[in-house]
Amino acid sequence: KEEKQRLRKEKKQQKKNKEKNDEKTSHEEQPAGSASQPPAQPSPKAVPVPASEAPAPADKPAKSKADLKAERRARQEAERASKGKKGDVGQPAPTGKLKAPPSELQPVVKRLPEHVQVDNPEVVKKLAKKLERQQIPLRSDYGYKVSLFSHLHQYSRKAPLTQQLGIPSTVIHPAIVRLGLQYSQGIVAGSNARSVALLHAFQQVIRDYTTPPNEELSRDLVNKLKPYISFLNQCRPLSASMGNAIKYIKKEISNIPSQCKEEEAKIKLLNCIERYINEKIVLAAKAIAKYSIEKISDGDVILFPPNCSFNVTISTSISSSLVNHILCEAFEKKRKFRVIVVDSRPRLEGREALRRLVQKGISCTYVLISAVSYILPEVSKVFLGAHALLANGYVMSRVGTSQIALVAKAFNVPVLVCCETYKFCERVQTDSFVSNELDDPDDLIVTRKGKTQLEHWQKVPSLGLLNLVYDVTPPDFVDLVITDLGMIPCTSVPVVLRVKNVDQ
């Protein structure tokens, strides 16, 4: 709504300027009279205007602003004409206004506003109201938050959101409830795994969906999905890949023509989702593996911090994380290499990856991240996975990735990042503070030799534990990004995004 108001104001200003210009040019243009009609008036009789308007201001080079405005108006009239007899009289005006600025901004990647603002009480109140409307419980923050991160949420794993839901929940589909629980407890973790799980859950939702009478499937289903997304966001903040997947689904749903029967529409949507998973995740993994294998030569020693690549623990056709997959493929192609697996507390995801590699028969070494500068002189390549690639070329990945890239740079070891294109994101970020996720701080507590040092950290007022989940790696540390579109440098990410936007 705010956006609409803002755009309306813009249009009014432009109209004022345009009127000033038009007064000067009005003696030249005959059809200018109808052109200077304020676009706020819904005028279905604007049909004859467009063609005559376009060549009119072309002879005044100094009035290029007027050119643009006239062209824009021509486009608006044309669009309005095509929509013409649709029936809603009130619609063309706001859609006309809304359509103009986005078409102006078409070549530029849109800026996404930051939505998590825990330190702003108004935003928190608004969020609480929205959740109340959607009948979803609000998750409360846990523990003392480090002041640098007071704008982020910090939840405890021991208090899952589902405890506050009634059984059975009338608002939220049980598949989504299960998914939310899996996310918050860390059972399904990792960018790919979470996206695939989300899409499967949505497939289930669509299967069980029936259009209520007097409602259109395209609009009602989208509205049904909104509380689910809020719920999942409360369980665990959405990742960039999940965001892209949701955008795709919403677009597909709203593109369903209204005369389509319900059964047909559902089958169509299910197929869309299946195709998305297949293209963007499964086949992309195969393509990336193909490119990466060219980069692995005999006798290589590869460093692999699996805290950035993900295991899929639900039953799908994908059975390995991306870099794990690449290494197994390369091993099958009879390349001789050695892998060093670097792990870090508190998640220790490396052990699982280590098990898979050892099962395949690859010779592995295992160290903790603090020993990286000891082990790096023996390494010939570093493979990293990514959670998302940002529009300014920064790589967002598990915490610790940027450190490994830094030390690798100091030792002159090439760093390769493997990432599917569906993880590319329009956000920009330069440090790991403004947008991050805070995990349960109790994970840092460890018992050694029977003594737990940090057991009573909550009682000590000046002690805080920080368990970050993500960090950003600057593009100068990364030598190559391997995607399903090919091997690109880190700085080409906005190009890929632009191509994708134009396609859609």
Residue 88 vs residues 27, 95, 215, 255, 326: alpha-carbon distances, Å: 35, 11, 17, 19, 54
Q: How far apart are CA 262 and CA 502, in angstroms?
A: 30
Nearer to another protein, 87 or 461 (CB): 461
238 binds another protein (CB under 8 A): no
Residue pair 7/95 in contact (Cβ under 8 Å)? The answer is: no
Q: Nearest-CA neighbor of 337 among 317, 358, 364?
A: 364
Min dist CB 128 to another protein, Å, is 28
What's the closest the beta carbon of residue 277 comes to another protein, in angstroms?
A: 31
Q: Check residue 143 for interaction with another protein (CB under 8 A).
A: no
Question: Which of 305, 244, 307, 312 shows the shortest CA–CA distance to 279?
Answer: 244
# residues near another protein by CB under 8 A: 51
- State how beta strands 451-452 and 447-448 pair: antiparallel
> Is there binding between residue 154 and another protein (CB under 8 A)?
no
- How far apart are CB 436 and another protein at their closest, in Å? 8
Does the footprint of another protein cover residue 463 (CB under 8 A)?
yes
Q: Does 324 bind another protein (CB under 8 A)?
A: no
Identify the CA nearest to 203 among candidates 274, 253, 263. Answer: 274
> Residue 354 interacts with another protein (CB under 8 A)?
yes
The reply to whether 148 sits near another protein by the rule CB under 8 A is yes
Cβ at position 368, least distance to another protein in Å: 5
315: phi then psi, degrees, rounded to nearest 5: -80, 105
- Taking the complex as a whole, how short is the minimal distance between the CB of residue 410 and another protein, in angstroms? 5
Look at the block and give the residue holding tokens 């790096």.
376
Is residue 351 within the footprint of another protein (CB under 8 A)?
A: yes
Stretch that binds another protein, among 40-48, 122-130, 222-230, 400-408 (CB under 8 A): 400-408
Which of 188, 180, 176, 143 is closest to 161 using CA atoms? 180
Residue of 180, 400, 475, 494 interacting with another protein (CB under 8 A): 400
Considering the rule CB under 8 A, would residue 415 count as an interface residue with another protein? no
Question: Taking CB under 8 A as the rule, does residue 370 contact another protein?
Answer: yes
We find the least distance from the C-beta atom of residue 117 to another protein, in angstroms, to be 19
Considering only residues 14, 218, 292, 307, which one is a binding residue for another protein as defined by CB under 8 A?
Answer: 307
When asked if residue 358 is in the footprint of another protein (CB under 8 A), the reply is yes
The C-alpha atoms of residue 468 and residue 441 are separated, in whole angstroms, by 9
263 token code pair? 């059964």
Beta strand segments in 62-184, E: none
Note whether 368 binds another protein by CB under 8 A: yes
Task: Give 392-456 as a DSSP string.
Answer: TS-EEEETTHHHHHHHHHHTT--EEEE--GGGB-S---SSSSSS--B--GGGG--EETTEETTTT
d(CA 179, CA 301): 38
Beta carbon nearer to another protein, 226 or 336: 336
Interface residue list for another protein (CB under 8 A): 146-148, 307, 344-346, 351, 354-355, 358, 364-375, 398-400, 402-403, 406-407, 410, 431-433, 444, 446, 448, 453-454, 457, 460-468, 471-472
